[in-house]
Amino acid sequence: MDSETASSLPIGPEAPGRASVLIPLALFTAYDYALPDGFTPPPGAFVSVPLGRRSVTGVVWGDGDLRIDATKLKQIEAALPVPALPDISRRFIEWVAAYNMAPIGSVLRMAMSVPDALEPERETKAWTIGDRTAGKLTEARARVIAALEDGAPLTTGDLADSAGCTPGVVAEMARRGMLRAVALPARRPFGVPDPDRKGPALSEAQQRAVDALVALEPGVTLLNGVTGSGKTEVYFEAIAACLRQGRQALVLLPEIALSAQWLGRFAERFGAPPAQWHSELTGLERRVTWRAVLDGEAKVIVGARSALFLPYRDLGLIIVDEEHESAFKQEDGVIYQARDMAVVRGHLAKIPVILASATPSLETVVNVDQGRYRALHLPDRHGGAELPPVTLIDLRRDKPERQQWLSPSLIRAVHEAIASEGQALLFLNRRGYAPLTLCRDCGHRMQCPSCTAWLVEHRYSARLQCHHCGYQTQMPPACPACGHSGTFAACGPGVERLAEEAALLFPQARRLIITSDTVGGPKKTTELIKMVTERAVDLIIGTQIIAKGHHFPHLTLVGVVDADLGLSGGDLRAAERTYQLLHQVAGRAGRAEKPGRVLLQTYDPDRPVMQALKDHDQTRFLRLEEEDRRVAGMPPFGRLAALIVSGRDEAAVESQVRIMAAAIPRGDIAAGVSVLGPAPAPLAMLRGRHRRRFLIKCRRETAPQPFLRAWLRGLKWPGDLKLQIDIDPYSFL
DNA sequence: AGCACGCCGACT
DNA sequence: GTCGGCGTGCTC
């Protein structure tokens, strides 16, 4: 990521009496407003401005632009009583907008993220003891006074509860002046982490890594260690060092909802929970947290992607945990790679960024090789347990029964594991019963009406479901094409079908199926995980949800039902992702004293991914991947951008991409750039919109943005045609 | 994102 | 005749 690729927002010549104000809407420029007499808000000031016939909150961005007619200008209404958006935040917003070619107003929107964040904080009214003699001291009133005697003010409800009286008693005492009202600041949903609480004892390797990290030098460091090597404990010490400097620290996690165990460990080390930032916060929590980040009061913030855009007052450290996770890639709205943007944010602030992973992405590994990032390795497994041996099962020889998916050797291994009082896990990364349903009589395939995708049968809910747009329908009683009934055939396995097979093969085993459909909320997840850790279960059948961060100490066998799944589709990172996912699943086995083993079923055991998993040889696998990408000029040895044109009217989309193809820039600006397409996008129809895609491929030293800007300048977008620009695309779907 | 304007179908 | 459906376009 190099900062030259981004240009800053054009700000016009100095114009007295006006200022440009950025508004958190999908706008590519700031708007100019007249300044009231004698009022010069500094850049970053939050102001309310009229827009159309309403009033919105924006941020003063710079000087006005004299090209805008003065008669058009409206006046800034007021400055809000909030600290200004810090300079680094503004530069970051500009950078992100320019790099990802997104409307800068949309990026500001992510940074404001709470429509009412700037409203004055609502205070809670609480009571302390007033004039005791202002009324008769009845028994109930005496209890109220007693409840307040130890000092802390209480709200009406709490006070009535602890005094054992009705709220009416409290209200009457207040009216008489026996109680005095005090404003209670809104309760902070986070505490003050203490860096000097004693942490767990560190191994020698961990201590070496800590020593390197606590120096907190600017730049990027890869913290690489296998599952259980104690990466978290190591970066906690970097957080502690940052806190001792009085600065804020940000931890980005791929899926905050699943990190109850992480939060527990944090609270144990620091004596208080961190401030959290994710989509499930309530309005009040968002407001309080946002303000506390801006005020510098929230010291450690843990969150998903969007936490990167919070208005940090003094950020001193960024940690991206599980940096290889594709969940860091935001795929709708403003499209960006949060891990890469975190590196940029760190660069702008001249602070350290730590990328932690057991299976780092190829991009990161290459950055280490080329000297752009530092690397720290944590070789030892924390509890001293060995990595479980991995065996490949060749499905061409070791064939499952017809319409079944477990090979004889995997079945045997499950029996053995259960018989020796261990637990077994069968992993299949496919929700539902079967990925495809067809009619045996006419061959009709059940397809989503608004996407190019099969409908997946979910037998537990008796529905057909599209996994791309959420379309659902009852399982029809007969084939919609030929009208015959009882002719549906389920093709291929999903976890539900696997569970059916397991019930047949292991009827005596206590089985548990864990998928995002069965999990629901964090509470239910904790419950299911508890069932496993307390050995109320012998056999777990699940999708990738079980691969994430949960500790299963009694697990002795992991069986991967379809290790090849995820390798098809021609995705650039398919092999890499498969390696990462299967490595993570394999890491579930044998984490306590019990040795574990891992069996991978594959039709292609000779593939480098499979061999690498078998030999635990990540390095060799990455070298092979690296070579492939280098030869193909693919990232990180080249750059990609995708343009997706979509619309409801297929002909209009087709005609637009023809116009675009004719307008592809030539000459100097196209040096080192090639354009592939237009081609139907991998999901040629999604949510009822037809999609065509161009893929732009550049040499590493050439940025695609100037080329794209030249291309798109002057193009018209009639009707409901939409253009999506995806810089550094990840999933090609 | 709102909130207008605008241009077609079913109502008091 | 007009009420209202939501497609389209603008907001300094």
Question: Which one, of A391, A435, A707, A698, lies nearest residue A558 by Cα?
Answer: A391
Nucleic strand B under 7 Å from the C-beta of A52: yes
pLDDT, averaged across chain A: 87
Mind listing the pLDDT tens digit for each residue in A65-119? 777 788 888 999 999 989 999 999 999 999 999 999 999 999 999 999 765 556 5
Instruction: Region of A611 please: left (phi>0), alpha (psi -120 to 50) or beta.
Output: alpha
Distance from C-alpha of A733 to C-alpha of A731, rounded to nearest angstrom: 5
Residues 622-641 of A with CB under 7 A from strand B: none
Q: pLDDT at residue A8 above 50? A: no
Q: Which chain B nucleotides are covered by protein, judged by CB under 7 A?
A: 1-4
Mind listing the pLDDT tens digit for each residue in A295-314? 999 999 999 999 999 999 99
Count the neighbouring beta carbons within 10 Å of the beta carbon of residue A143: 16
Strand order of the β-sheet with A511-514 is A390-394, A597-602, A555-560, A423-427, A539-542, A511-514
Q: pLDDT at residue A3 above 50? A: no
pLDDT band at A129 (very low <50, low <70, confident <90, very high): confident
Q: Which amino acid is at A74?
A: K
What value, to the nearest 5°, has the Cα angle with vertex A158 and ends A152 and A159?
70
Nucleic strand B under 7 Å from the C-beta of A54: yes
Q: Which chain C nucleotides are covered by protein, judged by CB under 7 A?
A: 7-12
Dihedral sign, Cα of residue A476, residue A480, residue A483, residue A485? negative
Contact A693, A644 (CB under 8 A): yes
Q: pLDDT at residue A7 above 80? A: no
SS3 A342: helix
Cite the DSSP H helix spans in A636-703: 650-662
Distance from C-alpha of A17 to C-alpha of A41, rounded to nearest angstrom: 11
- Measure, in angstroms, how far nucleotide B7 C1' is from residue A216 CA: 63
Contact A678, A645 (CB under 8 A): yes
Strand (E) or helix (H) holding A476? none
Q: Which residue's CA is nearest to the C1' of nucleotide C11?
A: A52
**Which pLDDT score, from 0 to 100, does residue A549 have?**
64
Nucleic strand B under 7 Å from the C-beta of A53: yes
SS3 A259: coil
pLDDT band at A589 (very low <50, low <70, confident <90, very high): confident
pTM of the model: 0.87
Q: pLDDT at residue A6 above 50? A: no
- Measure, in angstroms, how far nucleotide B11 C1' is from residue A684 CA: 42
- Measure, in angstroms, how far nucleotide C5 C1' is from residue A493 CA: 45
- Measure, in angstroms, how far nucleotide C4 C1' is from residue A660 CA: 38
Distance from C-alpha of A477 to C-alpha of A261, rounded to nearest angstrom: 45
Lowest mean pLDDT among A69-78, A409-418, A661-670: A69-78
Q: pLDDT at residue A385 above 80? A: no
Q: pLDDT at residue A671 above 80? A: yes
Mind listing the pLDDT tens digit for each residue in A315-329? 999 999 999 998 999
Mean pLDDT computed over A494-514: 91
**Residue A371 has what DSSP assignment?**
T
Mean pLDDT computed over A685-702: 91
Write out the DSSP string of A537-554. Answer: -SEEEE-GGGGSS---TT
Q: At what angle do helices A618-632 and A362-369 cross, to 10 degrees?
A: 90
Mean pLDDT computed over A414-427: 90
Contact A46, A40 (CB under 8 A): no
Lowest mean pLDDT among A19-28, A373-382, A698-707: A373-382
Count the neighbouring beta carbons within 10 Å of the beta carbon of residue A289: 25
Nucleic strand B under 7 Å from the C-beta of A332: no
Mind listing the pLDDT tens digit for each residue in A161-198? 888 888 888 888 888 888 888 777 666 778 899 999 98
- Measure, in angstroms, how far nucleotide C6 C1' is from residue A652 CA: 21
Distance from C-alpha of A246 to C-alpha of A616, rounded to nearest angstrom: 41
Q: CB closer than 7 A to strand C: which residues?
A: A 25-27, 29, 31-34, 50-52, 65, 68, 72-74, 718-720
Strand (E) or helix (H) holding A286? helix A283-295
- Measure, in angstroms, how far nucleotide C6 C1' is from residue A647 CA: 17
Q: Residues A52-57: contacts with CB within 8 Å, 24+ apart?
A: A56/A23, A56/A24, A56/A25, A57/A24, A57/A112, A57/A118
Is the preceding peptide bond at A678 cis, omega within 30 degrees of 0? yes
More confident residue, A641 or A161: A641
pLDDT band at A532 (very low <50, low <70, confident <90, very high): confident
pLDDT band at A10 (very low <50, low <70, confident <90, very high): very low
- Measure, in angstroms, how far nucleotide C1 C1' is from residue A649 CA: 35
Instruction: State the residue for tokens 């600041």.
Output: A185
**Which pLDDT score, from 0 to 100, does residue A515 have?**
85
Mind listing the pLDDT tens digit for each residue in A238-296? 999 999 999 999 999 997 555 777 888 999 999 999 999 988 787 788 888 999 999 99
pLDDT band at A499 (very low <50, low <70, confident <90, very high): very high
